[in-house]
Chain A
Amino acid sequence: MTTINIADTTPVPAEQIAKDLLPQKFGRRGMIWTSVLILLFLTGIIAYFRQLRQGLVVTSMRDYVSWGIYISNFVFFVAISLVGSLITAVFRLANVKWATPLTRIAEIIAVSAIVFAALIIIVDMGRPERMLNLFIYGRIQSPIMWDVIVISTYFVISLLLLYLPLLPDLRILINSKAPQWLKRLYRFQGSFWKGTAEQFKISERSITILCIAIIPVAFSIHTVTSWLFATTYRPGWDSTNFGAYFISGAFLVGSGAVVVAMYVFRKYYHLEKYITEMHFEKMGRVVVLLCLLYLYFNINEYMVPAFKMKKPEEAHLGGLFTGEFAPMFWFAIVVGMIIPIIILLFKKGRKPLPMFITGIMIVVGAWFKRYLIVTPTLLHPFLPMSDVPAAYRHYFPSWEEWAITIGSLAGALLVMTFFVRIYPIIPIQETISESHEEE
C-alpha cells in the first residue's frame, strides 16, 4: 500500500471529504443537548452521594429484589456494547464495505456503554471499596468473576479497535484548523502516524487481529452476563437458552442504537453524502433479521415453560403475561420487536425517519426487557419468607435509583457527544481511500 496523503490524492474530493467529516463545534442545539445531559449526569452523581452516605437503604431494593434497576441497566449497557463487534468486526471480516461509515459510531457506542456497565456494577455494590476484595479473594469458579474479567478485556479490545483506525485520521486532525488544546491532544495520541506503507501494513494487520479477537470476547461478555442468571435455579432464569437469547437481544439493541445515532449524526452534521439512504436500507434489513431472531428466542424462552407451567414458573409467567408486569412485558414484545418487524419489512419503513423511530422503539423496548429479565424473578423466591413485609413483595425504584440510572444513560451519551466533538464520527481516511478505490 502506498502512502495516502490528502495532499497527494485528488485534491477536491479528498479535501471536501475531510472538510465534511472534521469534528464541528457545538451549535445552539448541541449546547442545549450537552447541558441537559450534564444536568442529568450531575443529578445522578448527587443521588449516588446520597446512596454512599446513607447506604443502599435509599434504594427500594430489599431482601427479595436485591438486583433492581441497576442490574437491569447493567445488562442493557452490556447488550448495547455488543454492537461494536457486529458492525466493526463481523462486517469488516465479511468485507462488507458499505458499513465503513458506521464503524466508529458502533465502536464509540460500545466503549461508552461498557464503561458505564462497569460503573453501574460498582454503584450496585453499595460499598464500592469492596470491589477490591473481588481481586484479592475472588474465586475463578464464580460467574461474577468471569464477568469482571471479560468486561475489562472487552473494554480494552474495544478501546484498541476505536484507537487503531483513528490513527490516520489523527494526522488529518493535527493538520486541521482545530483549537490548540485539541491539537495538543491529537499530537499526543497520533503525532507518530506518518502514513507510511509500513505503518498501514502493521495497522491493517492489527485491526484484522482485533476483529478476530473481539468476536469471541463479545460473545463471552454477554454469554457470561446471561450465566449470572442462568447458573441459578430460579423461575425465569433457569434456562439453557439464555446465552443465545442474550446475544441475539444484544445485537438487536446495539443495531437499534446505531440506527438512532446514524440518523442523529446525519441530520445534525449534514452527513447525507456519507450516511446515505442505502445505509438505512441495509441496516433496516440487518435490524429486521435481528428482530426476527430475537423474537424466535423469546418464543423459546416463554412458550416452552408456559406449555409445561411448572408450579414455580406459574407465578412468574402469570405476572408477566397477565399480572403486575403484563403492560411492560407486552410493551417490550410488541413495541420492541413486533412493530419494528412490521415497519421494516416494507421498503418505505427502511427510510431514515421510520428507521429512526424504529430504532428508538427497539432501544426503549430493550431497556424494559432487561428490567423484566431481572426483577420479576426475584419477587418469586422458592422459599418465601414468613411474615414478609409488604414492601418486599413489590419493587418500584426509588428516586435515587432512577436518578442514578438516568444519570448513567446520560453519562454514556455524554461520552459519545464529547467524542463526536473531538474526533470524526465517520473515518475520514477510510472514506477517502474507498472513494479512490471506487474511482
Chain B
Amino acid sequence: MKKNKYILLLSLFVLAYVQQAAAQEKEVVKEMVRLKYYNDSNRVQYLLIESLLRKGNNVAPQQNKAYELYLDSKDNSSLIAKVVTDEAGRAKSFLPPSLKDAWDAGAQHTFIAVEPGEEDAKTELEVAKAKISIDTTSDEGTRSITVEVQKYESGKWLPAPEVELKVGIQRLGAVLSAGEEETYTTDSSGTVTVEFKKDSLPGDEKGNIVLAAKAEDNDQFGNLLITKTVPWGEKVKPDDSFFHQRALWATKFHTPIWLLFMAYSIVIGVWATIIYLIFQIIKIKKTGQSVS
C-alpha cells in the first residue's frame, strides 16, 4: 500500500515535469524562411520568399519583414531585389534584365536571401537551369500529350530524366491529371507521354482547354510550368441569361412585367384622375366666363 503511494507520487512529479518541459518547448520561437524558384513557360522567372514564425504548434506569417535577394553572391551587382513580405508573409520578385548575363553564364545558380544589414544568409536555394516544353499529337482518335524537360549542362541542353511532373488540364484551382496517374516521371530522353483520357471536359465557347505540365518544388530545378491551349474540350456557351432576366435587381430595361404593370397602372390611374380634375377646374372657369 505504501509502495503504491510512492509510485503515484513519483508519477505525478514525472507528469508535471513532462508538462512543464512540453510547455517550455511550445514557447520556443523559430523563424522559418523559404525561397522558391518559378519558371513559367521558359519566359517568366521569379522568386518567392516565404517568412513564417513557429511558436509551439502555431505557425504565423511574418508581415512587413524586409529581405534582400541576391544571385550567387552577396554583393550589390548581384542584387535581385529588396522585398517586404505581405500579410501572408510572402514576397515576390522577378529576375531583373540586369542579371541576364550572370544567369546565362552558369548552369547552376544559388539564390540568397539576407535580412538588411546582416552578413549571413537567412536562406539559400540552389537551382539548375532547365526548360520545359509541351506538344500534342492526335492519331486515330487517340490524343496524347508529350512533355519534355531539358537541363543545361556543359553549354548544351540535355534531357533531364527522373523529373516528376503533373500533366493534365488547368482547371480553376489545380491541374486535373490528363491520364490515370496523379504524376508522371520523365524517362532517359527527358520526356513523358500521357494519353489524354479526359474527354468531354467543358472548355470555352470554342471548346478550348488549357493543357498544363508542371514540376513542383523539384530539388534540382525548382518549379517549372508550361501550358498549351488546345480545342479538346466541349464548347460551352456562357449562360448569361442571368443578366437578362427580368428581376427586381436588374437594370431598368429588365423590370419584371408584373411590377411594370402594377406601377404604371397605379401611376396612370391616379394621374388620369388628376388630369380629369384639372379639366374640371377649366370647366368651372369656362362656366364662370359664360355667366359673366
Contacts and interface: CB of A to CB of B under 8 A. Distances in A.
B288 interface: yes
Contacts of A149: 267
Interface stretch (B4-12, B169-177, B270-278): B270-278
Contacts of B188: none
A140 B255 contact: yes
B259 A141 contact: yes
A141 B250 CA distance: 8
A213 B270 contact: yes
B252 A140 contact: yes
B58 interface: no
B285 interface: yes
Nearest to A164: B281
A149 B289 CA distance: 35
Contacts of A157: 270, 274
A192 B271 CA distance: 25
Contacts of B280: 202-203, 205-206
A242 B280 CA distance: 37
Contact of B252 (A138, A160, A193): A138
Contacts of B250: 141
B255 A196 contact: no
A276 interface: no
A63 interface: no
Contacts of A196: 287-288, 291
B188 to A, nearest CB: 56
Contacts of B288: 191-194, 196, 199
4 closest A-B pairs by CB: A192-B288, A192-B285, A139-B252, A206-B280
Contact of A140 (B249, B263, B287): B263
Interface of A: 137-141, 146, 149, 153, 156-157, 160, 163-164, 167, 191-194, 196, 198-199, 202-203, 205-206, 209-210, 213, 217, 220
A198 B284 CA distance: 8
A137 B255 CA distance: 13
A205 B283 CA distance: 12
23 contacts: A139-B251, A141-B250, A146-B263, A153-B267, A153-B270, A157-B270, A157-B274, A160-B277, A163-B281, A191-B288, A193-B284, A193-B288, A194-B292, A196-B291, A198-B287, A199-B288, A202-B287, A203-B280, A203-B284, A206-B277, A206-B280, A209-B273, A209-B277
A148 B74 CA distance: 70
Nearest to A160: B277
B244 to A, nearest CB: 15
B248 interface: yes
B15 interface: no
A140 B259 contact: yes
B290 to A, nearest CB: 9
Nearest to B273: A213
A421 B232 CA distance: 86
Contacts of B60: none
Contacts of A164: 277, 281
A192 B263 CA distance: 37
A198 to B, nearest CB: 5
B249 A199 contact: no
A99 to B, nearest CB: 22
Contact of B271 (A137, A153, A191, A193): A153
B273 A199 contact: no
Contacts of B267: 149, 153
A400 to B, nearest CB: 34
A141 B248 contact: yes
Given A138-B252, A140-B260, A141-B249, A199 B287 contact: yes
Nearest to B252: A139
Contact of A139 (B255, B274, B285): B255
A141 B249 CA distance: 7
B46 to A, nearest CB: 31
A374 B255 CA distance: 29
